[in-house]
Structure 1
């Protein structure tokens, strides 16, 4: 493992997904999935998300579209929250899902709208506390 890239990735991962979620994922890693946590942090976040070629907002839009296409609601919830953290608006997210409806299929987009709405409601509840 490249410790420098891991640490850079950890910083970006925390800023996008939230420190609480990321720290919990790493602290709860087991012998079975520890290497996966390291791989994701070092390569996804440390190698790719730190590259200068795309903004965090663009990366978030791409992730929302790809995760919609893959129909991965758990990951979509994380990345909807991450997209908000990266400065995307609900309207930005809506436009991504409408684009996905055409190119990935209406059922996938409908599920993504539903999942995003759950995240928006969670965020609103958190803000009221």
Structure 2
């Protein structure tokens, strides 16, 4: 395991949680294993493990980008991750306000709908 992969797996688990990562690792096949390694090395081992921004700041930027691009399944996963990154409900709201202005109200509106559902589920659990 490379240093980037080791650090990436540590960061990935810290942000997404062991249960999520364990499920993803169990679902990995020979077909997508190289892709999963690339994501762990590049996204988690380099970008998310950088020391310039906090995990909270990275979380807010990630949420805004996923919502703006309409990647709502990943958006939902990263809303759940805010429990581990320190991003608050207010942080999520502000990120989505930016999405509404810079990427369009329909994207922000749908992301708000998802965030409200996920935040309510998180509160109830």
Q: TM-score range by the shorter chain?
A: over 0.9
Distance of 2:121 and 2:28 partners within structure 1: 25
Distance of 2:74 and 2:48 partners within structure 1: 16
Partner of 1:91: 90
Could you tell me how far 1:90 is from its partner in structure 2?
0.6
Structure 1: which 4+ aligned runs deviate by more than 3 Å? none
- Per-residue CA deviations over 1:12-59 (Å, capped at 9, x if unaligned) read 111111110011101210122111211111110001111111111111
Q: How does 1:33-52 map to 2 (within 5 A)?
A: 33-52=32-51
Q: How does 1:1-129 map to 2 (within 5 A)?
A: 3-126=2-125
Say how many residue pairs are matched: 125
Structure 1: runs of 5+ lacking an equivalent? none
* TM-score using structure 1 length: 0.91
Distance of 2:31 and 2:65 partners within structure 1: 27
Structure 2: runs of 5+ lacking an equivalent? none
Distance of 2:120 and 2:35 partners within structure 1: 30
- Per-residue CA deviations over 1:60-106 (Å, capped at 9, x if unaligned) read 11101111111001000111111231111111101110111010100
